[in-house]
Amino acid sequence: MNDIVIQAHELTKKFGDFTAVDHISFEVHKAEIFGFLGANGAGKTTAMRMLCGLSHPTSGSGSVAGFDIAKDPEKVKASIGYMSQKFSLYGDLKVWENIRLFGGIYGMKTKAIASKTDVILNHLGLMSEKNTLVRDLPLGWKQKLAFSVSIFHSPQIVFLDEPTGGVDPAARRQFWEMIYEAVDQGITVFVTTHYMDEAEYCDRVSIMVDGRIEGLNTPAQLKQETTSTSMDEVFQKFARKATRNQD
Amino acid sequence: MKQFLAFVKKEFFHIFRDKRTVLILLAMPVVQIILFGFAITTEVKNAQIAIYDQSKDVVTQQIIQRLQANEYFTLVENISEPSQIEKLMKNGRVSMVLVFEPNFQENIEHLGKADLQVVVDATDPNQAKTMTNYVTSIIMQYQQEFIPLKSEVAPMQIVPQVRMLYNPQMVGAYNFVPGVMGLILMLICAMMTSISIVREKEKGSMEVLLASPIRPIFIIIAKAVPYFVISIGNLATILTLSVFVLNVPIAGSLTMIVAVSLLFILVALLLGLLISNLVKSQVAAMLISGMGLMTPTMILSGMMFPTESMPVILQGISSIIPARWYITIIKKLMIQGVDSVYIVTELGVLILMLLVLLAVSLKTFKKRL
Amino acid sequence: MIAVAVKNISKTYDKVSALKSISFEASKGEIFGIIGPDGAGKTTLFRILTTLLLADSGEATVDGFNVVNDYKAIRQRIGYMPGKFSLYEDLSVEENLEFFATLFHTTVQENYHLIEEIYKQIEPFKKRRAGKLSGGMKQKLALSCALIHKPSVLFLDEPTTGVDPVSRKEFWEMLSNLKTQGITILVSTPYMDEASLCDRITFIHQGKFLDVDTPRNMIAKYPSKLLAVSASRMYPLLLDLRANPQVLSSFTFGDNHHVTLAATYSVEELAAYLRLKNHEDVLIQPIEPTIEDCFMQITTTADE
């Protein structure tokens, strides 16, 4: 298939004699929502860092948006968007300043940034908050804004690292609706989460255990394979196989 | 008490398990003393000098020749006007100017006395001192060898009048030892203590500690104890190194030196505590203690520049810096070896500071978040 | 027996009001859950009850002691696990535990039975520095440290945030076991699915408690009939549901959408509407609401 936007082949990362990511292989298709699950310390963050061009794989290969993650990390970075729960936007900058900053980082023209800023703020209903410092926004709004900013430069793929942690249920759902919208525009979404109901929203889900991908399928088929009624149950069944204990 | 000891033990674990902290606490005093000690060299070679010879007679020519023959000095300029002296000094072309008075030879021969003015740039006091010593000895030598042969009139002498420019008190020579003591004790007690207290706030463990039965004031005291102990260790290291490696004498009473140092350590600990009461992040604690305590200690305490030649306003500021008073006392006790009577003022100031800080820290101390 | 009593507690920071006149009571030996998202005021409330902050107005007692005047007595008898991981990362597992035991005038041996079940899972790693533990193990250690002095009330501020579902489940199993020892537990969480594991819960929303009840009653009080709707294309389905004025609310919920309808609108009518919109494999089933449904319903009503 030609629409593969993320490909990992035997991707491995070792820190000393500790194998954080152990020969993982998978493909993600264009405009797919790919859920990347795993317990704390299973190797999700390390794998994600390699795919974002931030960390060099020990062995194996991977490509993101058509660029080799080991040879062209800069090109990979330019064609993706990234958002995490821990850091999303600068709290001491105003809403529009954050947008301008990230637009500028990705090399967008000032005029394009200005016009698109208004479009996005209108869409989010945040126009009246344009001059508010981001730290004064409620968490739910902040995360929605952060997501808009992460896809502001129209990347092919957006990586979301636990984007909805601690967000209230209503805002969490609005957030997912924004993800659906982005996918409608052809953006591929690669997301990690600890909310198992969110795993159900993904087209396909992979479950990492001890650095390896132990399960990879649609939520419906994963449930069928493990004779579970919910993704929570699926996850419990997989994660309890884990033997390693450290981060 | 058991609680308290467990706390102190935990604090020592924190310190010894962080290599960077250990390095700062134990290696820095040694490195600083050694660096200061050997960086300040007392040897002078090829110092650039100028000569203002208003007499131009046989004697002055002979003296000038002798100076030139010496490896210590290089004559770069003969000047003809007094105004040039300052100019040459200021742009750094020369570090010493010799001024022979008019009728030098005549004065020696008829009045038995001639004046030679030695103007030295004393920015680096050690070097200035050495240069004047060399010049004086060269002239003395000349005097012994030549002048008696020329005349029967005795005693005849050339009188070098030394003028130190820029740093007349010659601060510097042994000053760095008291200075480093002040700096290091301030660093360890105020900065490290405040950072370690604020770290608990930042990490959230302070919440757990405050919600426990231990009395909040004990948390703070327990955190200060290890730094107190380490400071005393450092004090011993510095004194030993300066006596045995750098040959700086301890002229006065060792007991007094230790007693005053303990007083200063307490002042610094209280400063650290006060800082930790006021700020919430380690970065803020570091900035405040760094900018607010260390920098003024280095610049205004008289460690590097003499307080006497500072503008009045800076002198005012320097008088609220504990290290300034401490360094003065140590200088007096250690280098000059004076009696305790002469340090009463400084001691009084330090004790007053201790009391004020104690009151303010207790007042700002919070038993809640 | 009332373990925690709170009456009209309010707290304002820099003009932003964090808690607005909160009142509730928690009985001895119950697990009382405070459910709400980040920034709702949970941490402020915990800090007031653990005597770390003073409220602007109102009164509160813990184990019968006033949080302002008797703070010393309260500090003797509570256990507290703040939101941030608050153990000493440079101390080993064992050293952490011993330190906290000594802090509370006790020893690990004396109260070992209290923590045995939890601690024995991390005991093989007792020489390891706490900073090198995994998230789930850190949590177990933190809980052991908070329990070692046999507190009568345990305050757990978001103990499971950022922790994976497996460790979260284990943690809640540990809490249910503690209950049998008569320890009152006040726990806050942003995860709605954890609410059903509490004896009683409250929803905290923008500094206010919206309701206090058992999880069962909360669900029973849900005012409308709830339907689970699914079809082959879920996102267009959601958009079409939203477009229908007879659909009062529709939220994504795992592999289906949770929908409430106007009283006059029937399931059959909805099915017909969705067929008209060309949805395939449409499945509409009445279901029992979850705590999350209740939270959303109650907060939406409160906002209006």
Q: Mind listing the pLDDT tens digit for each residue in C218-238? A: 999 999 999 999 998 888 899
**pLDDT-based confidence at A39, cuts 50/70/90?**
confident
The CATH fold assigned to C2-220 is: Rossmann fold (3.40.50)
Least confident among A75-84, A192-201, B55-64, C104-113: B55-64
- Per-residue pLDDT of C35-78, as tens digits, reads 988 888 899 999 999 999 999 999 999 999 999 999 999 999 99
Task: Report which of residues A94 and B93 the model is more confident about.
Answer: A94
Using CB atoms, which residue from A39, A140, A167 is nearest to C166?
A39
**pLDDT-based confidence at A246, cuts 50/70/90?**
very low
> Hey, where are the domains in chain C?
2-220, 226-288
Report yes or no: C283 and C230 within 8 Å, Cβ to Cβ: yes
**pLDDT-based confidence at B229, cuts 50/70/90?**
very high
State the pLDDT at residue B169.
47
CB contact under 8 A, C254 and A231: yes
Does the pLDDT of residue B168 top 60, yes or no?
no
CB contact under 8 A, B204 and C86: yes
Q: Do domains C2-220 and C226-288 have the same CATH topology?
A: no
Give the whole-angstrom CA distance, residue A20 versus residue A42: 7
CB burial class (10 A; 0-12, 13-18, 19+) of residue B67?
A: buried
Interface residue C299 vs chain A (CB under 8 A): yes
Interface residue C99 vs chain B (CB under 8 A): yes
CB contact under 8 A, C132 and A247: yes
CB contact under 8 A, C47 and B212: no
The CATH fold assigned to C226-288 is: Alpha-Beta Plaits (3.30.70)
CATH superfamily of B47-165: abc type-2 transporter like domain (3.40.1710.10)
Report yes or no: C63 and C71 within 8 Å, Cβ to Cβ: no
> Hey, where are the domains in chain B?
47-165, 172-364
β-pairing, B73-79 vs B96-100, is unpaired
Does the pLDDT of residue B217 top 90, yes or no?
no
Interface residue A23 vs chain C (CB under 8 A): no
Read off the pLDDT of each residue in C15-33 and give the average, rounded to a whole number. 92
Residues 6 or more apart whose Cβ sits within 8 Å of residue C250: C229, C238, C241, C242, C257, C258, C259, C260
Amino acid letter, residue B212: S
Task: Report which of residues C80 and B79 the model is more confident about.
Answer: C80
Task: Report which of residues C146 and B133 the model is more confident about.
Answer: C146
**What is the CA angle A51-A56-A58, rounded to 5?**
110
Interface residue C204 vs chain A (CB under 8 A): no
Read off the pLDDT of each residue in B211-240 and give the average, rounded to a whole number. 90
Ordered strands of the C247-253 beta sheet: C247-253, C256-261, C226-230, C283-287
- Per-residue pLDDT of A190-245, as tens digits, reads 999 888 889 999 999 999 999 999 999 999 999 999 999 889 899 989 888 777 65
State the pLDDT at residue B146.
67
State the pLDDT at residue B163.
65
CB contact under 8 A, B14 and C104: no
Read off the pLDDT of each residue in C116-130 and give the average, rounded to a whole number. 90
Does the pLDDT of residue B204 top 60, yes or no?
yes
State the pLDDT at residue B110.
80
Read off the pLDDT of each residue in C73-89 and give the average, rounded to a whole number. 88
> What is this model's ipTM?
0.84
Side-chain-side CA neighbours of C112 within 13 Å: the count stands at 7
Angstroms from A104 CA to nearest CA on chain C? 31
Read off the pLDDT of each residue in C278-295 and give the average, rounded to a whole number. 93
Give which of C110, C3, C103, C10 is closest to C55, Cα–Cα. C10
Does the pLDDT of residue B96 top 90, yes or no?
no
From chain C residues 124-153, the ones with a CB under 8 A of any chain A CB are 125, 132-137
CA distances, A126 to each of A117, A148, C147 (Å): 10, 12, 45
Look up residue B110 and give its two tokens.
């008829």
State the pLDDT at residue B173.
44
Does the pLDDT of residue B170 top 60, yes or no?
no
Does the pLDDT of residue B348 top 80, yes or no?
yes
Mean per-residue pLDDT over chain B, rounded? 82
Which residue spans within B147-250 are E strands per DSSP? 157-165
Does the pLDDT of residue C133 top 90, yes or no?
no
Highest mean pLDDT among B179-188, C9-18, C65-74, C176-185: C65-74
**pLDDT-based confidence at B94, cuts 50/70/90?**
confident
Give which of C289, B296, C11 is closest to C298, Cα–Cα. C289
Read off the pLDDT of each residue in B278-288 and give the average, rounded to a whole number. 89
**pLDDT-based confidence at C16, cuts 50/70/90?**
confident
Residues 6 or more apart whose Cβ sits within 8 Å of residue A247: A40, A41, C132, C133, C134, C135
State the pLDDT at residue A247.
40
Does the pLDDT of residue B355 top 70, yes or no?
yes
Least confident among A25-29, B241-245, C3-7, C180-184: B241-245
State the pLDDT at residue B171.
44
- Quote helix, strand, coil % in chain C, to nearest 5: 40, 30, 35
State the pLDDT at residue C152.
93
**pLDDT-based confidence at C107, cuts 50/70/90?**
very high
The answer to whether B and A touch (≥3 CB pairs < 8 Å) is: no
Mean per-residue pLDDT over chain A, rounded? 90
State the pLDDT at residue A47.
94
State the pLDDT at residue C219.
94
Does the pLDDT of residue B167 top 60, yes or no?
no
pTM above 0.90, yes or no: no
Report yes or no: B350 and B326 within 8 Å, Cβ to Cβ: yes
State the pLDDT at residue B19.
87
Angstroms from A72 CA to nearest CA on chain C? 32
User: CB contacts < 8 Å between B and C, how many?
Assistant: 77
Contacts A207 to C, Cβ<8 Å: none
Give which of B361, B290, B353 is closest to B326, Cα–Cα. B353
The answer to whether A and C touch (≥3 CB pairs < 8 Å) is: yes
Residue in chain C closest to B369 (alpha carbons) equals: C52
